Amino acid sequence: MRQKKADYPTKAFERAISAFDDFDACTMEYRLLLDTQRALLTAENFDGVVQTMVRGDEIARRAANCGRRLAPVRETLNGEAHDGPRTLELRRRLKQSNTTADFLGSSIAQVMASCIVKRDAAALEIGNDRATQARRGGMGYVVPSNTSASIDIRR
């Protein structure tokens, strides 16, 4: 006869649900931030995009903290020591969180790609302006050679 497995402990379940709720709040904030960044990019408000990146870093740190809080839950759920309604709910929330994280990762990559396209277009425009100034014999604004590396958001 198979031994019945215990459900996930109540106190640990409550802590895990709290961490999932905090993660969900972070992802909602980040989704709104990405929408704001897309609008700022469309409006070519690059200063605004840069300013929102600080907020994005803060949200990402909070989400990473939630991930650390959930690490023991993931480890426990990978085994088969528990079974029951709380365990099933934690498995569902974990799957949902992973899906959300994947979606956000792809959305972040799209915004970053847009930033890179805009950055490269601006660098090309500045380069063309410099060439025009040089042909006219005037002194134009000289862009430091490491500018594109210093604003590369992929770091």
pTM of the model as a whole:
0.72
**What number of other Cβ atoms are within 10 A of residue 6's Cβ?**
12
In this structure, which long-range contacts are made by residues 94-103, counting pairs with CB atoms below 8 Å and at least 24 apart in sequence? 94/20, 94/70, 97/20, 97/23, 97/24, 97/70, 100/24, 100/27, 101/27
Task: Indicate the pLDDT class of residue 88, thresholds 50, 70 and 90.
Answer: very high
Q: What is the pLDDT of residue 76?
A: 87
Averaged pLDDT, 132-144: 56
Provide the pLDDT for residue 134: 64
9-67 pLDDT, tens digit each: 999 999 999 999 999 999 999 999 999 999 999 998 988 998 998 999 999 999 999 99
Tokens found for residue 140: 């134009």
